[in-house]
Amino acid sequence: MTTYKSTKRLLVGVVLCTAATATFLVVSGKGSRPSQSPAPQNQTNDLAKKAREAYKRGGLREAAKVQGNYVADYDPHPDFGQFSIEDLTKNSAAVIVGRVTKKLDARLLEGRVIFTDYEVAVDELIKGNLGQTKTIVMTIPGGRFFFEDGTSAEQLTPTFDQPRVGRAYALFLTREAALPSVFFLSGGPQGMFDIEDSSSVRSHGRPEDPGAVETKGKSKEAFLNDVHAKARKWPKPGKCCG
């Protein structure tokens, strides 16, 4: 299991992954001009090219200046590892069952990656120590960030379903020193499991990820029993790959 030694290394890795895997989409600037006929295809392609070049130079802020509202696809699945339920449990600082209660603001990391914060009510603490905390904030890849000049940048995650307010999840969580007030998902999307349907657990990882394979067709009760058993085996807080 890979363990990041510092927040900086984590964020730099995320940024490099973004630069390598993001597929950029072209959209018109929102509110920048009156309604008019679509631009010719070659003009649209030129704008997209300028936005890509601006992103390489100065990140999402510069790309947003080119298009007004800059939109790109982002793949949040890590290329550094695939994790079993035991891996996730062992290397997480906390494992909880919780319900998403509110979508909060987006944050910009290193100028190139957007994360969105979610408020989560803790129903059960399986591993870790949250003190008297009944609510946590976790931050998830993807979202829309607004800059001071009125432009915005948005990163879509078509291969990763964002959490839904009101639904229950089992969450494998890690923390970073630079952002101690929020939790990241251990192993990226692999650390989130939808348990709203008691008859079937759904991993938010890729279908081929070990955790997704292990839980396919498994009931909520069987899944949580397995996580509890692994938490007893690995009770000490771990450090994973958010």
As a whole number of angstroms, the distance between CA 122 and CA 99 comes to 7
Alpha helices in the chain (DSSP H): 7-21, 41-67, 85-90, 210-215, 220-233
Amino acid letter, residue 173: L
Burial class (CB in 10 A: 0-12, 13-18, 19+), 80: exposed
Over its length of 242 residues, how does the chain's per-residue pLDDT go in tens digits? 433 333 444 443 444 344 334 433 333 333 334 445 565 667 677 888 899 899 999 999 999 999 999 999 999 998 888 999 999 999 999 999 999 999 999 999 999 999 999 999 999 999 999 988 999 999 999 999 999 999 999 999 999 999 999 999 999 999 988 899 999 999 999 999 999 999 999 999 999 999 999 999 999 999 999 999 999 999 999 987 65
- The pLDDT score that the predictor gives to residue 40 is 66
Q: What are phi and psi of 191, to 5 degrees?
A: -90, 10
Q: What angle do CA 209, 213, 218 make, to 5 degrees?
A: 140
Instruction: Give the up-direction half-sphere exposure of residue 13: CA atoms within 13 A in the CB hemisphere.
Output: 19
- The pLDDT score that the predictor gives to residue 14 is 42
- The pLDDT score that the predictor gives to residue 147 is 97
Q: Which residue has the tokens 């803790």?
A: 122
Distance between terminal CA atoms of the chain? Answer: 12
